[in-house]
Amino acid sequence: MEEKNTTLGEFIIENQASFQYSTGELSRIINSIRLAAKVVNYKVNKAGLVDIVGAAGEQNIQGEDQQKLDVYANEVFIQTLINREIVCGIASEENDDFITVAGADNGHNNKYVVLMDPLDGSSNIDVNVSVGTIFSVFRRVSPVGTPVTTEDFLQPGTAQVAAGYVIYGTSTMLVYTTGAGVNGFTLNPAIGTFYLSHPNMKYSEDGKIYSINEGNYIHFPKGVKDYLKYCQAEEGDRPYTSRYIGSLVSDFHRNMIKGGIYIYPTSSKAPKGKLRLLYECNPMAFIAEQAGGKATDGFSRIMEIKPTELHQRVPFFCGSKNMVEKAEEFMRNA
């Protein structure tokens, strides 16, 4: 008998009861992200044919040049979430401040906020390298019925109720967790449906891939330099393989499937690190831990960091548990 292919929609409905706040709102948020991802995927796939690649001529809050697709993806995700009337607030890496969302009755009764990096790795679009979307969902802490506050967004990662990413690559995948494991869904472009293709995704405890921009080696702290020497030493199952795409979603996705560690440390050029705690590190840390991996800032658990600002940056060590712990050992002993 042929095995039934489970669609993302069916999976959400079947697993809704296992979510501790099963009111249907979270399911609708995931469905909204699914819809926005399909729209962005369409644009990404024809990026070379239309005037959608290259810089938009503006900079985001971090002082980085915004790509045209950055701006487009940001608008698509924000509008899709607002139109569905299911969130009370949205924070995006591309926006200076958070967005307060009121319902049709002008009330503020929705319970969830979404934080996102709408197009991670967008500088790679021009050269046809995989990019992605990262998202994180929290329950608000401000009283229902009132506009959201900064505190709704400045929650530690341990308070996340869902997180995920979409990778726009040779195939388009949506990977997410609600705290009960990690599942991946692949888009069938012929019919526009996501199917469960990677159930219960897991990191191996050990891996043989390390992902870091070695071009910045001279700027790295001693602990990171020592760990890289360890990775490159001819001993045991080493040297490890170096693989670095420069798109967090792509590097993370490969390492989760094959086993490896991703590192974006502090450096003399980026003394606080480069990745954003709220839009990149927290959601990826939640996914990593749910898949049996580990995510730290080199010393302590990413998800226990109490954020102090919307665009806070932190160093990021993430991947197979034993590899992250070995890197931490070098950091402590440096």
- Is 93 labelled as part of a ligand binding site? yes
Q: Which two tokens stand for residue 237?
A: 């199952």
Question: Does 120 belong to an annotated binding site?
Answer: yes
322 marked as binding residue: no
* Rounded CA separation 58/54 (Å): 11
- Judge whether 213 is annotated as a binding position: yes
Residue 280 annotated as binding? yes
- Cβ(259)–Cβ(208) below 8 Å: yes
- 206 annotated binding-site participant: no
Q: Which residue in the block uniquely carries the two structure tokens 């449906």?
A: 193
DSSP 8-state secondary structure symbol assigned to residue 49: T
Instruction: Say which residues have a Cβ less than 8 Å from residue 129's Cβ, sequence separation at least 6.
Output: 121, 245, 246, 247, 250
Residue 234 counted as an annotated binding residue: no
Distance CA 302, CA 256 (A): 17
For residue 19, the one-letter residue type is F
Distance of CA 99 to the CA centre of its chain: 20
Q: Quote the DSSP letter at residue 48.
A: T
Cα–Cα distance, 66 to 249 (Å, whole number)? 18
Evaluated on CA atoms 239, 241, 244, 248, the torsion sign reads: negative
Q: How many CB atoms lie within 10 A of CB 1?
A: 3
Tokens of 11: 């999976």
- CA 198 to each of CA 48, 79, 107, 110, 314: distance values in angstroms, whole numbers, following the listed order: 29, 29, 39, 31, 30
CA 56 to chain centre: 23
Residue 8: both structure tokens together: 């993302």
Q: Is 122 annotated as a binding residue?
A: yes
Which residues line the annotated binding site for substrate?
120-123, 213, 244, 274
Which residues line the annotated binding site?
93, 117, 119-123, 213, 244, 274, 280
Which residues line the annotated binding site for Mg(2+)?
93, 117, 119-120, 280
